[in-house]
Amino acid sequence: MNKAISGFSKLSKEEKIKWIADTYFSTPNEAIALLKNYWNTDEKVQQLHDEFIENTITNFYIPLGVAPNFLINDKYTTIPMAIEESSVVAAASKAAKFWATRGGFKTTIIDTEKIGQVHFLYQGEVSKLNLFFAQIKEQFYTSTASITANMQKRGGGIRSIELRDKTDLLPNYFQLHATFDTKDSMGANFINSCLEQFAKTLQAEAKNYSLFNETESEIEVVMSILSNYVPNCLVRAEVSCPIEDLMDKEIPNPQEFSTKFVQAVQIAEVEPYRAVTHNKGIMNGIDAVVLATGNDFRAVEAGVHAYASRKGQYSSLSHAKIENGIFTFWLDVPLALGTVGGLTSLHPVVKLSLEMLEKPSAPELMQIVAVAGLAQNFAALRSLTTTGIQEGHMKMHLNNILNQLEATKEERIAIQKHFENNTVSHNAVVAFTESLRQ
Ligand code: MEV
């Protein structure tokens, strides 16, 4: 059977589904029924989702959970989290509750600078290019006035434009390196529109510049695009308390706990294999809130991991110390987020998440997201350095196994009771379920 097709995007949604079902499924009607079962019953809502991307055939669900009791800068917040991994929301909620009685989370916005670049090739005397740039610099601002007017009204806009000589890296390679403040929007469209205009201005002005010879006046623009590396769009989240206050029923010896906890963070600071997993745990919290609030988690992921490698070796995003009997644990993380534009005003569940967060500004959302990351990291390290991670994980995983086994309500009650005091493993759950069924 021919599994290639031309003109697929021009087919109707029904035709696309039929082609997929007939081409890839032994029981096409079942595949069609499943796909349609995941359509929203409200046609308008479904149409909205259909139009987010091309070739939509259905919706892909992941759960939206909430983690309440986050005391952030003395204000309680309930954090929405879209995530499929069992135990993440439970861990966030547990960490939130733990810190709510120990002063809560404190956050600071370090900066909100976004970055974009025009990458171009220039063959000629560098001193002439520098002179040219200085003379036309103002034009970059005036030629983008219609693009920046609204952003300026909101207090944002272009912060700086620099000419950067990159010829030590690639022959003839230069950049316009620009920084922006995009206020409450993530700003990708705004930045890219500005950059494309900079590129046009650069080329047009070069053609008329009297000091350039013919080759010099032919500036070749390779591309104009924002950077997802935003080391100066940075937020810090922190928790701190006297060591003895860390005591609770799972931390009978806070001195020992805090020492081991700091050691675990130090290992992630110096050992990349551990740092990746350590940061993955942080991203469990960050991505879940980024996704729930309609933000671009790929951009956030790329930027965060680049930041974690900024010193030449991949390292921990979080840090911990004990000083004068005080335990402090903090996280610095670059987050380019928006609370207006994009999906934020379109996706009904995103709108709901933002309303639950009391309609935060972008910097406020940065703080909430960073806190979710720190809480997740705290929960993971707390388990890892005490009971181990599997105890909590397998308890949550039990539900997934029970779903696979299609356990009845009565079976679930009996199985859950049994595994309160027994170690959960896939085999153990299957064996116990079979024994019940005999
Ligand atoms: C699992 O999703 C995340 C952890 O592996 C994070 C960590 O090891 O710190 C538990």
For residue 362, which of 300, 406, 317, 305 has the smallest C-alpha distance? 300
Torsion of CA 231, 159, 126, 142, to 10 degrees: 150
Q: In the structure, how many helices (H) and strands (E) does the chain have?
A: 15, 10
List the pLDDT tens digit at each of the 438 positions of the chain: 789 999 999 999 999 999 999 999 999 999 999 999 999 999 999 999 999 999 999 999 999 999 999 999 999 999 999 999 989 999 999 999 999 999 999 999 999 999 999 999 999 999 999 999 999 999 999 999 999 999 999 999 999 999 999 999 999 999 999 999 999 999 999 999 999 999 999 999 999 999 999 999 999 999 999 999 999 999 999 999 999 999 999 999 999 999 999 999 999 999 999 999 999 999 999 999 999 999 999 999 999 999 999 999 999 999 999 999 999 999 999 999 999 999 999 999 999 999 999 999 999 999 999 999 999 999 999 999 998 877 767 777 888 899 999 999 999 999 999 998 888 888 999 999 999 998
396 lines ligand 1 (CB under 6 A): no
Per DSSP, the residues of 17-35 read HHHHHHHH-SSHHHHHHHH
Per DSSP, the residues of 213-249 read -TTTT--EEEEEEEES--TTEEEEEEEEEEGGGG-BT
Residue closest by Cα to atom 9 of ligand 1: 278
Name the residue of 260, 261, 276, 277 whose CB sits within 8 Å of the most ligand 1 atoms, as the mutation to test its pocket: 277
Specify the pTM. Answer: 0.92
Distance (angstroms) between ligand 1 centre and the Cα of 237 equals 19
Cβ atoms 176, 330 nearer than 8 A: no
Could you tell me the sign of the dihedral formed by the alpha carbons of 319, 320, 324, 326, in that order?
Answer: positive
Which residues have CB under 8 Å from 391's CB, separation 6+?
383
278 lines ligand 1 (CB under 6 A): yes
Helix (H, G, I), strand (E, B) or coil at 322: strand
